[in-house]
Structure 1
Amino acid sequence: MLTAIKRYAPQVRLLLATTFTLTLARAITLPYLVVYLAQNFALDISGIGLMIGGALIVASLLSLYGGYLIDTLRSYTVIIAATLTFTLAFIGAVVSRELSLFFICLVLINLALAVVDIAAKAGFCALLPLEERSEVFSIKYTLSNVAYAVGPFVGVALVLLDDHLPFLLSALLGLAMCLSYRRWGERAARARVEGSEQAGFLSVGVQLVKDRRLICFTLGGALSAVVFGQFTAYLSQYLVVTSSASEAARYISYLVATNAVTVIALQYVIGRRISSRQLMPWLIAGMTLFLVGLLGFSLAQSLLVWCLAMLVFTLGEIIVIPAEYMFIDSIAPEHLRGVYYGAQNLSNLGAALGPVICGFALAHLVPVATFYLLIGSVLLAALFYYLGARR
């Protein structure tokens, strides 16, 4: 993977570095956010979930307009503005004494990260030939998982010194990338095709709604995200209900480690082989692995079986995420790549709904029904992917 990164043009490496650093900054504060909200704003667990999930939902909706800006303005301008917003939002989170202001800061953090992520995807498509894009998408996803593996440990170490330090370090990382991109970013880069007429946001929105393939793939992505977007949340919910809290914490630590090691070890190896000409077979393979993993969870009676099921489940995640990127790349008009990737980002709504759906199932049905609902979500996602892949 390092050899491939060295082979890329400086602008591709800068985009990879920017998305990795901002993801790391986000991961540093993520594990402590629940404790911070409880200690500083006296929120109960439902209020905390509403804050975190609500911020993600609002940011996902706003990111559609962020994608439009990437198509309209220079990507250099948008990335500078997003990284600066990212920095100021973390500083705002530290000084916030009002819950509403803290919520706005959370929305801005998630939105800035989403906009930079969209800009990076559009940039890869502009800078690399078609046959190299699956590789760079896999590298980007691998680096994101490295960030989420390392970030929490850094955050926990900083909390022992001062509970504001994780936010301040995240702000410094955001500022470092803002200054780096200001120094080395390509100022002339522009997503929009020169000479093409730029439509207004509402006109672009109408065009998106008329694109049946995009709608189908966005719905498929949202249904997939219900399953893998926040799997730690619903697995924790299930294990707490079916065992003790201490046992659930022990199992989750092993499952998260299994997921992280599998992604870091195999994402690049598998992802770079995904071909734009065979996306549907790859997606079906990924969906099948999700089904096998979920069935394994539903039958698991030991830690070993849980970890094996997580290994299979993670292989599905490794396949589906790059394949989704490749599909959007294949259908997006050259001058609308940003807004198309912004539409794909709406799949985060599914990630936000996952724990809610599973919480309802655990409260009103037998616990194992949680996994049957998730299996139904996978099958519906596969149907929408199939409908979207048809010409």
Structure 2
Amino acid sequence: MKIRYWDTNLKVRLIGEGLFNMLFWMYFPFITVYFSGAFGKSIAGMLMTVPPLFSLWGSLLGGALSDRVGRRPVMLFGALLQTIMFALFALSGSHWIDYIAFIGIGIGGAIYRPASQSMVADLAPPKELREIFATFTTANNIGAILGPLLGAIFFFHYRQELLWTCAVVMLGYFIAIYLIVHESMPIRVDIQEKRPISTELKEQWKGYGIIFRDKIFLFYIIAGIFSLVAIMQLDLYLPVYIINHVPGQALFTWNHWSFHISSTEVFGWVLGFNGLLFVLFILPVTKWFGNWKERNVFILSSLMAGGGTFLVGLNTNIWYLFFVTIIFTFGEMVRSPVTQSFISRYAPEHARGQYMGADSLQYTIGKFLAPITVFLSSWIAPMGIFTLILGFSLVSILFYHLLFRFYKEQPLASKLN
């Protein structure tokens, strides 16, 4: 698999999304800190549970529309909405408008994502799906290395300039989609006549009910929710734990000289190391596990993500933290491309956008539940929180086991036919 042989659509997506994600990591890790300073921690904590609910609605809408009007128009709308919201954020003089703009950015991305992922599934040969999704993951994580370090400067001191840059990049990507990207949605031979879009959308929403009565898909969603609660702690409880419980220390020592870093910088190094591991190893890891059964990959992922995060609480040495970062990062790394390829193959061709949209439910509910660790940390000791995180991972392993017991008994992509 070589990028130069990819379809033009995929090349445009890779470049556009790669550029945007470099900017994304310059503002996203600091959004909670920004709103905490503006509204206070308790109010900000409640406010941050709202965007995932809007994102869920956006994902379901985007998935339904991408199967009705096509991938390209939905991607255009999602990119344009993000452009407008970034401009609004940059122009805003009110923290509440900032918050509304942040929600709008999330909705635009949520509408865009199912159509974009469906386009990859439409165009990629089945045997190359894992590697192609892994390549996109690599591009999306390049910014995770330097983004947080640069964002600590630019978001707080040059926030308007950063937001305007995001708006310009998204506008450029919108133009590229409009001029270069072609439609990839398979022709729906089952539709004999064009129906009004309102009628068609009602049918699409009914389709989601059928999807969630699919026992295999339902177990997949539940297992993913519990697995993601552990994976998402890198942006939630880990910064709280490291900043409050890991002391500043010397990263390097040479004779009488040492390079000392604070607790906050320890977290920055851990986060940057996590991003570096993704960039360097996502493609090799995808190839290493290419012949593994999906069941085994999902279970290994949950075990490494939960177990690695649990081990964080056992020692505060920076080099030990780097070691356990390798463990929980690889847990996330092996999961990402397999998750996307599983849905791409499992979903019926005519309902692929719906399945991609419904797949985002695990991320939405995961984001809604994951902050419980931060909330409980006021009453429970760190090892209690880390044990809870490990417990979530073990529950996900149980549901993945149940999922693949049923999955073997039924033909692939059997629903909505």
Structure number with bigger Rg: 2
Query: Quick one: structure 1 residues 191 and 20, their matched pair in 2 at CA, closer, same or farther if it must change by over 3 Å?
Result: farther
Letter of the structure 1 residue corresponding to residue 25 of structure 2: A
CA shift digits 1:161-208 (9 cap, x unpaired): 74311110000000000011111010x432563434767133112111
Secondary structure of the residue aligned to 2:188 is coil
Contact 1:72–1:191, Cα closer than 8 Å, also in 2: no
What amino acid sits opposite 1:33 in the alignment? I
Residue aligning to 1:54: 50
1:184 lines up with 2:180 in the alignment = yes
- Computed over aligned residues only, the root mean square deviation of the Cα atoms, in angstroms, reads 2.5
Higher helix share: 1
Report the Cα distance in structure 1 between the residues aligned to 2:150 and 2:93, rounded to whole angstroms.
Answer: 25
Which one of the candidate residues 394, 401, 405 is aligned to 1:379? 394
Rate the CA distance shift 1:87–1:309 in 2: closer, same or farther, 3 A: same
Alignment of 1:324-363 (within 5 A): 324-353=339-368, 355-363=370-378
Name the amino acid aligned to 1:56: P
Counterpart for residue 93 of structure 1: 89
On the 8 A contact 2:122/2:186 being kept in 1, the answer is: yes
The structural deviation recorded for 1:153 is 4.7
Tell me the TM-score normalised to structure 2 length.
0.84
Identity fraction in percent: 19
Residues 196-223 of structure 1: per-residue CA shift (max 9 Å, x gap): 4767133112111211111111111111
Query: Match for 1:264 among 263, 279, 292?
Result: 279
1:219 touches 1:381 (CA, 8 Å); kept in 2?
yes
For residues 100-142 of structure 1, the C-alpha deviation after alignment (integer angstroms, 9 at most, x for no partner) is 4333321221122233332222111111111000001111111
Name the SS for the 1:195 alignment partner: coil
Shift of 1:316: 0.8
2:171 equivalent in structure 1: 175
**Match for residue 13 of structure 2 among 15, 29, 51:** 15
Q: Distance in 2 between matches of 1:33 and 1:323?
A: 29
Instruction: Name structure 2 gaps, 5 residues minimum.
Output: 193-199, 249-260, 408-417
Q: Separation in 1 of the partners of 2:269 and 2:99?
A: 32
Contact kept, 8 Å, 1:75 with 1:189, in 2: the verdict is yes
Which segment drifts farther, 301-310 or 18-27? 18-27
Q: What one-letter code is carried by the residue in structure 2 that aligns with 1:17?
A: I
Residue 282 to residue 162, structure 1, CA distance change in 2 (3 Å): closer
Q: Give secondary structure in 2 for the equivalent of 1:363.
A: coil
Cα deviation, residue 373, structure 1: 0.6
- The alpha carbon displacement at 1:365 in A equals 2.1
Deviation larger for 206-215 or 158-167: 158-167
Of 197, 202, 206 in structure 1, the residue corresponding to residue 209 of structure 2 is 206
Residue range with higher mean Cα deviation, 209-218 or 267-276: 267-276
Counterpart pick for 1:195 among 176, 190, 196: 190
Cα 1:184–1:154 shift into 2, 3 Å? farther
Deviation at 1:344, TM superposition (A): 1.5
- Count of equivalent residues: 386
Report the CA distance between 1:36 and its aligned residue.
4.8
208 and 218 in structure 1: CA distance in 2 versus 1, 3 angstrom threshold: same
CA gap of 1:288–1:161, structure 2 versus 1, over 3 A, is closer
Q: 2:221 — aligned with what?
A: 218
* Alignment of structure 1 residues 4-43 onto 2, 5 Å: 4-34=2-32, 36-37=34-35, 42-43=38-39
Deviations 1:18-45 (A, max 9, x none): 3323333432332453565467xx3212
Deviations 1:231-260 (A, max 9, x none): 232112223443459853132122112211
Q: Is the 8 A contact 1:122 1:191 kept in 2?
A: no
Deviation at residue 380 of structure 1 after TM alignment? 1.0
Can you give the 5+ residue segments of structure 1 that lack an aligned partner in the other structure? none
CA contact (8 A) 1:27 1:151 kept: yes
2-structure distance, mates of 1:26, 1:156: 13
Say whether the 8 Å CA contact 1:28–1:170 is kept in structure 2.
no
State the secondary structure of the residue aligned to 2:381. coil
Helix, strand or coil for the counterpart of 1:300? coil
* From 17, 41, 45, the counterpart of 1:45: 41
The aligned residue for residue 242 of structure 1 is 245
TM-score by length of 1: 0.90
Please say if residues 228 and 351 of structure 1, whose CA atoms lie closer than 8 Å, have aligned partners that are also in contact. no
Cα distance in 2 between the residues matched to 1:145 and 1:120: 17
Distance (whole Å) between structure 1 residues aligned to residue 109 and residue 394 of structure 2 = 30
